[in-house]
Amino acid sequence: MNDSIDQKRPSGSAAVTKAVVPAAGLGTRFLPATKATPKEMLPIVDKPAIQYVVEEAVAADLQDVLMITGRSKRSIEDHFDRAYELEEALEAKGDDARLRSVRESSDLAQVHYVRQGEPRGLGHAVLCAEAHVGDNPFAVLLGDDLIESADLLRRMIEVRERHGGSVVALMEVEPEQVSLYGCAGIEPTDEDDVVTVTDLVEKPAPEQAPSRWAIIGRYVCDPEVFPVLHETPPGRGGEIQLTDALRELAKRDPEDGGTVHGVLFRGSRYDTGNKADYIRTVVDFACRRPDLAEELLPWLRGFVDRAQRS
Ligand code: UTP
């Protein structure tokens, strides 16, 4: 363990070592594709979305990953498990590159699973992690939310190490989009990219939003969130909302697990559970790939020209 970080850490609080990846939602926005396939398994070029999320956790030094899964989510477990027959076939052919790519997902992290019997909301999914996480702070990475690098998560963990409490990731959105997100009331701190969160509202009407800073799918939670979630009634959409529990924590004293900070994120983020965003993600990731960009970019330019003329 790093001594300098240990000295900065508030007394009585442990390091963040575990990641929780909720992936038990119904994915109704992506039907019918998600009738039998989890939306988290939809491919972004040649890897399922959830693999990028686990890679991000590992890049932020979180090797212990708990996935919250449910009905029709078996393929997630298979993807992070060994595939002996496939590996043997590739080995026999001497196809080392594909063999490496197949083994990558099973060698990536220590992956654990718990099932959320019924998808009762993100807050309820997080509550399913209680036994695994215990009395430790933990990160939450939504299984269908892609963030361009692990810098955001690392920064959030660092803010938690210094200030304690919980940390949310905030991104500025257009006023007409605030009703799609949880929105935060914020106050500045002496660091440009860190704010104190004074209020949180799940999917507010634009005139009721405390700001245009929206919560995106990365959190670092104090374990005090569990007792609060136990007491949190179903909120918007009849679901138990993580935002409601964090709002309760934001109002508490620091000694009671209170204080919520926000890290302001200004990079690229994609919600792959949304059809248009999914397509944008695939195009963006493909165009950044040296093995595909050369072929794809000229075609894309031509396609855009033709589309503009028609
Ligand atoms: P979403 O709200 O995007 O997921 O939750 P959803 O409910 O599946 O989406 P739609 O609206 O029906 O299309 C964000 C993340 O939280 C997980 C989802 O799997 C997704 O990764 N989640 C959501 C759960 O694990 N359990 C739930 O009860 C709800």
Q: pLDDT tens for residues 147-190? A: 988 899 999 999 999 999 999 999 999 999 999 999 999 999 99
Residue 240: the pLDDT is: 95
Residue 299: the pLDDT is: 95
Greatest alpha-carbon span in the chain? 65
Q: Residue 119: name the closest of 211, 54, 27, 29 by CA.
A: 27
Residue 60: the pLDDT is: 97
The three-class DSSP label of residue 121 is: coil
What stretch of H or E contains 216?
strand 213-221
Topology, domain 16-273:
Spore Coat Polysaccharide Biosynthesis Protein SpsA; Chain A (3.90.550)
Pocket of ligand 1 (CB under 6 A): 22-29, 40, 68, 116, 119-122, 124-125, 142-144, 273
User: In angstroms, what is the span from residue 27 Cα to ligand 1's centroid?
Assistant: 6
pLDDT digits (tens, 9 = 90+) for 118-142: 999 999 999 999 999 999 999 999 9
Beta carbons within 10 angstroms of residue 298's beta carbon: 10
What tokens were used for 12?
Answer: 């009585």
Q: Is 67 left (phi over 0), alpha (psi -120 to 50) or beta?
A: beta
Strand partners, 218: 141
User: In angstroms, what is the span from residue 241 Cα to ligand 1's centroid?
Assistant: 11
Residues in the chain where the model's pLDDT stays below 50: 1-9, 11-12
User: In angstroms, what is the span from residue 260 Cα to ligand 1's centroid?
Assistant: 23
Residue 4: the pLDDT is: 46
pTM of the model: 0.93
Residue whose CB lies within 8 A of the most ligand 1 atoms, among 26, 128, 215, for a mutation test: 26
Omega cis (within 30) before 32: yes
